[in-house]
Amino acid sequence: MLGQSGIHVVIQIIALNRLGYSSFLISTRLASPAITQLLTLADCNIILTTPPFHPVLKEVQQNRQLEILPLLQSADIFHHNAPRFVRDYSPEAESRKVAVIIHSSGSTGLPKPIYLTNSSCIGAFAVHMNMRAFLTSPFFHSHGFYEVFRSIYSGKPIYFTNYGLPLTRETVMAQLKATKPEIFHCVPYVIKLLAESDEGIQMLADMKLVLYAGSGCPDDLGDRLVERGVNLCGNYGA
């Protein structure tokens, strides 16, 4: 899957999993050589996407077989009467099947697939913060992927940033004011944006937890925020 539409990707992953298929979440930032390698390594020949990514996928099609299908949209999902789908399955066998594939960053070369079984996913999702969340990390990012399904597992709401808007201090603050999350999932760059104003720092301090991932938070920035009452925690990242 190559797309930014969070809720539609979530629904599609769940639907494909029930059908017995694995989903591969691919970064929207990759060039055609990286996408080509990932699809080849994962033996994947079908991609679900949206029109903005057709040009780069056309380049991929010049090097390998690839069928491009449209990602589900709201009109495809809601207000439709559909029969209940039932599939016979063995829980033990299903637990070992690959549910989702994500990939490495490619910082030291072309990215490589990371295979996640149903069992490993459920084990990770069960460890959650049980808080209402706001997420700015993209869904193809492992931080975004895990935290979305942790929220589903906990039954607590999670709000996605509007990926159609520029990621600026003003847009993030407006969304935080509207959603009032208990936990904020982001990368250090977003924290730095909010820390450029007193109001932004206060918004971070008002949340129970600010959880960042993907890279390290600069020591001076982290120290300054902690001194101002921000409960700042690193999930993973150098």
Residues of the chain with CATH 3.40.50.980: 6-123, 126-234
Are 25 and 9 in contact by the 8 Å Cβ rule? The answer is yes
Percent of the chain at pLDDT exceeding 70: 97
Domain 6-123 has CATH 3.40.50.300: no
Sheet holding 183-186, edge to edge: 158-160, 133-135, 183-186, 209-212, 232-234
Closest Cα partner for 153 from 131, 183, 134? 131
- Element (DSSP H or E) covering residue 151: helix 142-154
Mean pLDDT along residues 88-94: 85
Q: Is the pLDDT of residue 78 over 80?
A: no
Mean pLDDT along residues 60-65: 94
pLDDT of residue 186: 92
Q: Which residue has the higher pLDDT, 231 or 75?
A: 231
Record: fold of 126-234: Rossmann fold (3.40.50)
pLDDT tens, residue by residue, 6-41: 677 787 888 888 888 899 999 988 999 999 999 999
Mean pLDDT along residues 97-126: 90
- The mean of the pLDDT values for the chain is 89
What's the predicted TM-score (pTM) here? 0.84
Mean pLDDT along residues 70-93: 79
Q: Is the pLDDT of residue 201 over 90?
A: yes
pLDDT of residue 37: 95
E strands, the chain, are 23-24, 46-49, 67-70, 98-103, 113-117, 133-135, 158-160, 183-186, 209-212, 232-234
Round to whole Å and give the CA distance between 152 and 132.
Answer: 11
Round to whole Å and give the CA distance between 6 and 80.
Answer: 20
Round to whole Å and give the CA distance between 210 and 213.
Answer: 10
pLDDT tens, residue by residue, 156-198: 999 999 877 888 999 999 999 999 999 999 999 999 999 999 9
pLDDT of residue 89: 79
Q: Is the pLDDT of residue 82 over 80?
A: no
